[in-house]
Structure 1
Amino acid sequence: MSIVAREEELATTEGQRRPLAETATAARGPLRLARHSLVLAKRNLIGVLRTPEALIDVTLQPMIFLAMFTYIFGGAIAHGSRHDYLEYLLPGVLAQTIAFGGAQIGVNLNGDIEKGVFDRFRSLPIARAAPLVGAVLADVVRYALLCTVTLGFGYVLGFRAATNAPEVLAACVIAIAFALCLSWLSVLVGMLARTPGAVQGIVLLVMFPLTFGTSTFVPVDTLPGWLRSFTDVNPLTHLIGTLRGLMLGGPVQSHLLWTLAWMAGLLVVLVPLALRAYRRRA
């Protein structure tokens, strides 16, 4: 075989191998990201176990909100029936505390950057986005704990779901999924703010109108017109409507569709922005 023919054969073989290699690399990309993200999620959970006071926002806070609003406002708002108000309140408090709980992830990420932890991550052979995705995945445990505590303490106070166990479980799953989507806002702020304290202040500043400008505490039709216009498009209003429908019965489809649409929108907008800010900061 001539040298020219041999070179042509090698070129053809190499040309056949390259697409296969590229395909294999592309296939390994998502698996690699998932594997590295799970490892870093475990790292974050170990940190939480060593500092259990970091779980106050998903344990004591929902209990305080439920007891405080039920016994302070329940008699006035529900015309003396605190039990009826507790039934109305609990899904709203679950959504509210889930929104507030998302602030912690941005604070932790910003603190890791300040301590130089992300400099170490850059030197490791891991997927670039793994630290962010791992931090978000670790929050699944925090949100699951929040749902358990809220429902458990609500049952102690007298809350009883009017639907069956699968529907209540579905409500918790939707609440956790929504929280994971919304937590990317905290991730984005964590990448942009200068200090952990600033992250917490900015996120809470955004969350207060979102959580209180809803149907959490009072029916929407009792609000003034200008506030109702905001409440009607508030994503937490639709999440609360979904949770109430699944826990207490009633229409669910419209609120559920709006909730899923908001979840998709949050991911489409916030994830690319957070990753871009992460590349610039870390």
Structure 2
Amino acid sequence: MSAVTDTAPAPRAPQPRGGLSQSVTDSLVIAKRNLIRMARIPEMVIFGLIQPVMFVVLFSYVFGGSMSIGGSLDPERYREFLMAGIFAQTVTFATAGAGAGIADDMHKGLVDRFRSLPMARGAVLTGRTLADLVQTALTVVVLAVVGLLVGWRVHEGILKALGAFALLLFLGYAFSWIGALIGLSVRTPEAATSGGLIWLFPVTFVSNAFVDPTMMASWIRPIAEWNPFSATVQACRELFGNPGVVQSDAWPMQHPVLASLLWSALIIVVFRTLAVRKYRSASI
């Protein structure tokens, strides 16, 4: 007499649900989770607000009297010139925080727990970047108030100003995908923070954010004018009606709004694809 043994099939890993609507739902769930976490740790938001406010005050009152804008050394004119650059710098510097947050989730094993659930693979990263976008928008609002206090003004109406802020947030969201890729590529949050900042300094300073590119060396001026960061700054100055709009033959400087949209869209397409691919391979 022989015994027959039934072998139970091995459990299958949960399969991610498909469909655009499901991906959107999963992304919003992750975004909500990250926003709740930010609310429970308010110092994350507070420290994120302090740095850009310090930049506004320091650049306005330390360098304002020594910077020539359109041949004038007027400090008030420089403050209006400055704010578009500070806005753009603030939304792009949020990249470092996005990378550090994703690296921290990876380090703690949270991403592996998300991976065990039947959810869209890109939702974890999309939700994280959306939550960072909300925090960035809050920072921009506070920064605008500080700018008004130091003398910055909008001269082209509220609709164009809202368009400028939309371009800024679009740029910030695009750069957050670069931060996501960096966060997935390093082992610790500290390394993600360093890696997220080291490349941002040349991007923001080799631009039209703080000085007129016509004052730069001839070999570096084209780099500044074709910098995606510069296109957004130029567009914001036009839409705000602020001084310092660069007169240049470079296409991005002649069509800054369109150039800003195209650059940001291209960055999102490229780096979201790379980040999602890295997420899948890093989580296996």
Which TM-score applies when normalising by structure 2? 0.86
Alpha-carbon distance in structure 1 between the residues aligned to 2:217 and 2:73: 24
* Offset, 1:28: 6.0
State yes or no: 1:265 paired with 2:266: yes
Greater shift, 135-144 or 87-96, is seen at 135-144
Alpha-carbon distance in structure 2 between the residues aligned to 1:101 and 1:28: 30
Say which of 219, 226, 235 aligns to 1:226.
Answer: 219
Say which of 187, 199, 202 aligns to 1:206.
Answer: 199
Preserved CA contact (<8 Å) 1:58 1:97: no
Structure 2: which 5+ residue stretches go unaligned? 1-16, 247-252
In the alignment, what sits opposite 1:34? 24
Preserved CA contact (<8 Å) 1:41 1:135: yes
Preserved CA contact (<8 Å) 2:164 2:235: yes
Alpha-carbon distance in structure 1 between the residues aligned to 2:163 and 2:176: 20
Q: Partner amino acid for 1:280? A: S
Alpha-carbon distance in structure 1 between the residues aligned to 2:138 and 2:52: 11
Structure with the bigger percentage of helix: 1
In the alignment, what sits opposite 1:94? 87
The 5-angstrom pairing of residues 81-230 of structure 1 reads 81-230=74-223
Preserved CA contact (<8 Å) 2:18 2:120: no
CA RMSD for the aligned pairs? 1.7
Alpha-carbon distance in structure 1 between the residues aligned to 2:76 and 2:46: 26
* Offset, 1:253: 6.6
Preserved CA contact (<8 Å) 1:171 1:243: yes
Structure 1: which 5+ residue stretches go unaligned? 1-26
* Offset, 1:103: 1.2
Residues 175-218 of structure 1, C-alpha deviation per residue, up to 9 Å, x if partnerless?
Answer: 10111111110000111111111111111111010011111111
Identical aligned pairs, as a percentage? 36
Alpha-carbon distance in structure 2 between the residues aligned to 1:141 and 1:271: 18
Preserved CA contact (<8 Å) 1:57 1:97: no
* Offset, 1:141: 1.2
The count of residues paired between Structure 1 and Structure 2 equals 256
Larger radius of gyration: 1
Q: Partner amino acid for 1:198? A: A
Alpha-carbon distance in structure 2 between the residues aligned to 1:32 and 1:253: 41
* Offset, 1:225: 1.1
SS in 1 for 2:255: helix
* Offset, 1:80: 4.5
Q: Partner amino acid for 1:258? A: A
Preserved CA contact (<8 Å) 2:53 2:143: yes
Preserved CA contact (<8 Å) 1:87 1:159: yes
